[in-house]
Structure 1
Amino acid sequence: MLPAATRGGAPDAMAQARAALRDVVPRLVALVRSAPDANAASVGTWTVGDVAAHLSHVFHFDTNAVAGRPILEAMVTKTGMAGVNAKMLAEDGERDPAVLADRIDMLANEFDDVASRARAATVTWLQGVGLPPSAVACHLLEECLIHGHDIAKATGRPWSIQRDHALLAVEGAVLPLIGALPPTAFLNQEKAGSFRARFELRLRGGERATMNFDRGSLTLDAGCARDVDAHISADPSALMLVFIGRQGIWKPLLEGKLTAWGRRPWELARMLTVISPP
């Protein structure tokens, strides 16, 4: 069981997520609109136009989830989501940054309107997972932060991720999703099969949680723990970029944004090869 703040279920979590989105989305829309080349390589095989189109799809299905409308069917694994995302991109031919910027802006306003009226304790998200509406809003925030980073890096433009926004994304979305999805969802099963370790994660400015890796499964416990292989202190922004594979481990380690200590701190590097977010 995770604490309320970590489950994305705190009374003001939705208000915080909506406020963060109202801060981030205008910068994201301006970034997309200013992209000089929609065909510029961005992340993986995706172009800048692909990333922007994908973002609009995320706004659409997260809005449907919070509104209680039917949502797409998908297995929330790296492979499952890659297939769904590829299908949606193939069916959506729009790649003009200006058009997609307008679309994201419109969808963001729709999401905020729907979120302002959300009263259900839980809503149905991908793979039939039940989540607080605030966790869906925090997931949308995470997508905006990560893909804003992708577009900015591809276009040579600045993109800042505030600590409180990243903390909301990790505590309000990433950890609740790890807790709600099957314990295999966030792992590379080929690499995780023999891995066993326990880490106490200390988010700077936030809560603590214990991550339990046990031969292909990942589960979470609330709070601090004594019998762990390593303690991890992490700046939320750095942790998010490292976990999602947008940044290597060494730069945040050298900058002090990520530190590990305990009886087996080197297992942090192995853990990052095992983690495979959808």
Structure 2
Amino acid sequence: MATTVDDTLAQARAALHEVVPRLVDLLRSAPDAGAASVGAWTVGDVAAHLSHVFRFDTDAIAGKPVPDAVVTPAGMAEVNTKMLVEDGERDPAALADRIGMLADEFDEIASRSRAETVDWLDGARLPASAVACHLLEECLIHGHDLAEATGRPWPVRRDHALLAVEGGVLPLITALPSAAFLDEKKAASFRGRFEMRLRGGGRTVMVFDRGSLTLEPAGVRLVDAYVSADPWALMLLFIGRQGIVEQLLGGKVAAWGLQPWKLARMLTVLSPP
């Protein structure tokens, strides 16, 4: 039986019900808001940013205005910096309380959503399920960032990571301009076709063509490489939290085909916002 948008939204809400309390507990146990986390961000910065994502994803589901943002790496860096400057809260416990309340608000609004699509950042029209899965993705990734910074474990269920990719990342790639996900200079000369086989999930072909990124059904045309990946490992790889060698040696990712070496080049071309 095919999965419907309503099914995906229900699955995303159920995943958030499990993930958010763990995230809140992780924040409440953080000893130092100023500890380095990811890039130039501290633990407090990551927590504040995550609360901002909860706010604008909730507003999107509710049909309210969302931030005026261009979804590119530079554009999102600008809007994220602006939000962090305007929000002085960095206390992990206070932000844990804020995220808990926002999560309840999101779930309540999502439970009543009947809109086929909603307005999201950069003029994208998305199913409510894709917004929920985007929020799940942000919780999983930034939960990882916070756990790394505080020395705590952050286990991620495969079905949660799969839902974040198939229900969130792939619809975003379809809805947004290619510039949202690519380093334009590096992508300008790159061509490649990769069949992504998500373990426990489906197959999708990612097509890179001199600055564009599109998705196609699997099995229609030849590809340069086949990539079998654990969904969580793929998320960490694509977002730059772990390297390809580590994932290949650990068996979390495997590549084969006519030109499997292109996978390494593809990873340099990707630049998620």
TM-score relative to the length of structure 2 = 0.98
Instruction: Give the C-alpha shift of residue 171 in structure 1.
Output: 0.2
Per-residue CA deviations over 1:18-55 (Å, capped at 9, x if unaligned) read 00000000000000111000000000000000000000
Measure, in 1, the Cα distance between the counterparts of 2:217 and 2:118.
23
Q: Is it true that 1:111 corresponds to 2:120 in the alignment?
A: no
Instruction: Kindly provide the amino acid, as one letter, of the partner of residue 239 in structure 1.
Output: L
Q: Is it true that 1:78 corresponds to 2:73 in the alignment?
A: yes
Unaligned runs of 5+ residues in structure 2 are: none
Instruction: Kindly provide the amino acid, as one letter, of the partner of residue 17 in structure 2.
Output: R
Report which stretch shifted further, 160-169 or 181-190.
181-190
Residue pair 1:231, 1:261 contacting (<8 A) in 2 also: yes
Instruction: Kindly provide the amino acid, as one letter, of the partner of residue 112 in structure 1.
Output: D
Q: Secondary structure of 2:266's partner?
A: helix
Residue pair 2:6, 2:129 contacting (<8 A) in 1 also: no
1:223 to 218, 221, 232: 218
Instruction: Give the C-alpha shift of residue 161 in structure 1.
Output: 1.0
Q: Which residue of 1 aligns with 2:46?
A: 51
Instruction: Give the C-alpha shift of residue 267 in structure 1.
Output: 0.3
Q: Which residue of 2 aligns with 1:142?
A: 137
- The count of aligned residue pairs is 272
Q: Is it true that 1:121 corresponds to 2:116 in the alignment?
A: yes
Q: Secondary structure of 1:45's partner?
A: coil
Q: Which residue of 2 aligns with 1:189?
A: 184
Instruction: Kindly provide the amino acid, as one letter, of the partner of residue 146 in structure 2.
Output: I
Q: Which residue of 2 aligns with 1:25?
A: 20
Measure, in 2, the Cα distance between the counterparts of 1:222 and 1:82.
32
Q: Secondary structure of 1:231's partner?
A: strand
Measure, in 1, the Cα distance between the counterparts of 2:58 and 2:6.
20
Instruction: Kindly provide the amino acid, as one letter, of the partner of residue 208 in structure 1.
Output: R
Measure, in 2, the Cα distance between the counterparts of 1:117 and 1:246.
35
Instruction: Kindly provide the amino acid, as one letter, of the partner of residue 66 in structure 1.
Output: I
2:156 to 151, 156, 161: 161
Q: Which residue of 2 aligns with 1:203?
A: 198
- Shift >6 Å, 4+ stretches: none
Q: Secondary structure of 1:200's partner?
A: strand
Residue pair 2:45, 2:90 contacting (<8 A) in 1 also: yes
2:31 to 23, 36, 55: 36
Instruction: Give the C-alpha shift of residue 157 in structure 1.
Output: 0.7
2:256 to 247, 250, 261: 261
Instruction: Kindly provide the amino acid, as one letter, of the partner of residue 254 in structure 2.
Output: T
Q: Secondary structure of 1:246's partner?
A: coil
Residue pair 2:158, 2:231 contacting (<8 A) in 1 also: yes
Residue pair 1:195, 1:213 contacting (<8 A) in 2 also: yes
Q: Secondary structure of 1:160's partner?
A: coil
Instruction: Give the C-alpha shift of residue 201 in structure 1.
Output: 0.6
Structure number with higher relative contact order (C-alpha < 8 Å, ≥ 6 residues apart): 1
Instruction: Kindly provide the amino acid, as one letter, of the partner of residue 27 in structure 1.
Output: R
Instruction: Kindly provide the amino acid, as one letter, of the partner of residue 133 in structure 1.
Output: A
Instruction: Kindly provide the amino acid, as one letter, of the partner of residue 130 in structure 1.
Output: R
TM-score relative to the length of structure 1 = 0.96
Per-residue CA deviations over 1:195-251 (Å, capped at 9, x if unaligned) read 001001111111111110001110001233441000010100000000001111111
Residue pair 1:210, 1:223 contacting (<8 A) in 2 also: yes
Measure, in 1, the Cα distance between the counterparts of 2:100 and 2:192.
43
